[in-house]
């Protein structure tokens, strides 16, 4: 069996490549290395370095499965236009490519598409804020991708994953990976923790092994043209509490120093809390997150300590 992973040098791509190599698959990967780290890629994959918004035909690989991860994230310091344009062109190219070679497609969307809704079920409305709030460009680009897929012919086999916050080995050592990555680095260096806003915003964090398990379960299922939340609803924690937890794990018996940082110069609508509803994934995929936040952080701290 052959798989193509876009954004393979990113956090999820790297871990998915390792998982499929262990399963004995031929693994092909595409990444422009603008964010991903090439030296972390596992041996055994056939790697193509280019932008999927360019000429995807350069990697016309006959494969059974495509997992589309490559995308720009929430723009924290501008570049909203780049997020919108690159993400929509990327999924458009991948969609055409998958149809041309008759491959199954898994599209990695995001929990951010729920916007300001406080009901995180796959059948819930998607409530996005005002157009002059740049953070929504990421969510809108993913919504556009979801809508594009549902506009394809009925015989095109795809599924959509709305992924909730994930972390673990091979995540970026920056805000791109989420606050846990930055907090671990700061705690290891005994630097003040950077808390955006008041730190009261709550999230549920999912360890990499659980995220990969959910994605693979969906890829191997008989589900077609469905949307699934993949996340860990078991431990909702505020950003401030997360920073204290990480500091205590790394520097026990000492007080956590912190500085509060405004989100940015442009408007930013913070979401107070987001908890994944995974009842559909439990029912149809048998998915159940297994790694606790403390255990996942312990494993991630050990990896990040070695990298730093």
Q: What is the pLDDT of residues 247-288, one digit of tens each?
A: 999 999 999 999 987 766 556 778 899 999 999 999 999 999
Q: What was the pLDDT predicted at 214?
A: 98
CB 161 within 8 A of CB 228: yes
Q: What was the pLDDT predicted at 291?
A: 98
Candidates 54, 138, 139, 134; CA nearest to 97 is 54
- Tell whether the model's pLDDT for residue 96 goes beyond 60: yes
Q: What is the pLDDT of residues 174-207, one digit of tens each?
A: 888 989 999 999 999 999 999 988 899 999 999 9
Band of pLDDT at residue 112, cut at 50, 70 and 90: very high
Residues sharing a CB contact under 8 Å with residue 2, sequence separation 6 or more, in sequence order: 25, 26, 27, 28, 61, 62, 63, 64, 65
Q: What was the pLDDT predicted at 75?
A: 75
Of residues 263 and 121, more confidently modeled:
121
- Domain ranges, ordered by start, for the chain: 2-167+207-232+276-290
CB 33 within 8 A of CB 9: yes
Q: What was the pLDDT predicted at 38?
A: 93
Choose the CATH number for 2-167+207-232+276-290 among 3.40.50.720, 3.40.50.620, 3.40.630.10, 3.30.70.330: 3.40.50.720
- Tell whether the model's pLDDT for residue 166 goes beyond 70: yes
Query: Mean pLDDT across the chain, nearest whole number?
Result: 93
- Tell whether the model's pLDDT for residue 57 goes beyond 60: no
Q: Distance between CA 207 and CA 147 in Å, rounded?
A: 28
Band of pLDDT at residue 220, cut at 50, 70 and 90: very high
Band of pLDDT at residue 163, cut at 50, 70 and 90: very high
In this structure, of 57-66, 114-123, 203-212, 298-307, the range with the lowest mean pLDDT score is 57-66
- Mean pLDDT on 2-12: 97
In this structure, which long-range contacts are made by residues 143-148, counting pairs with CB atoms below 8 Å and at least 24 apart in sequence? 143/109, 143/113, 144/87, 144/88, 144/91, 145/87, 145/88, 145/91, 145/107, 145/109, 146/107, 146/109, 146/113, 146/227, 148/88, 148/91, 148/92, 148/95
Task: Tell me the backbone φ, ψ of residue 20, rounded to 5 degrees.
Answer: -75, -30
Strands 236-238 and 202-204, sheet pairing: antiparallel
């Amino acid at each position: 069996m052959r798989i193509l992973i876009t954004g393979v040098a990113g956090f999820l791509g790297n871990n998915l490549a390792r998982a499929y190599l262990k399963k004995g698959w031929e693994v092909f990967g595409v990444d422009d290395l603008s964010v991903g780290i090439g030296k972390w890629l596992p041996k055994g994959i056939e790697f193509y370095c280019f932008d999927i918004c360019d000429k995807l035909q350069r990697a016309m690989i006959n494969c059974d499965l495509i997992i589309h991860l490559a995308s720009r994230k929430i723009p924290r310091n501008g570049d909203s236009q780049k997020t919108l344009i690159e993400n929509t062109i990327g999924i458009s190219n991948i969609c055409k490519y998958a149809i041309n070679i008759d491959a199954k497609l898994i599209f990695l969307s995001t929990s951010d598409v729920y916007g300001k809704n406080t009901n995180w079920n796959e059948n819930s409305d998607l409530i996005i804020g005002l157009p002059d709030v740049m953070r929504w460009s990421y969510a809108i680009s993913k919504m556009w991708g979801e809508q594009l897929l549902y506009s394809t012919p009925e015989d095109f086999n795809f599924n959509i994953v709305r992924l909730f916050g994930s972390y673990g080995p091979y995540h970026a050592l920056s805000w791109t990976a989420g606050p846990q990555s930055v907090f671990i680095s700061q705690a290891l260096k005994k630097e003040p923790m950077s808390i955006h806003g008041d730190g009261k915003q709550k999230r549920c964090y999912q360890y990499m092994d659980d995220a990969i398990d959910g994605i693979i379960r969906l890829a191997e299922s008989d589900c077609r043209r469905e949307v699934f939340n993949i996340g860990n609803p078991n431990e909702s924690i505020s950003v401030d509490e997360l920073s204290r937890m990480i500091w205590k794990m790394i520097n026990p018996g000492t007080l956590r120093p912190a500085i509060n940082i405004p989100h940015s110069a442009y408007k930013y609508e913070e979401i107070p809390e987001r908890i994944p509803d995974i009842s559909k994934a439990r029912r149809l995929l048998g998915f159940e997150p297994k790694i606790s936040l403390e255990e996942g952080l312990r494993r991630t701290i050990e990896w990040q300590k070695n990298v730093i």
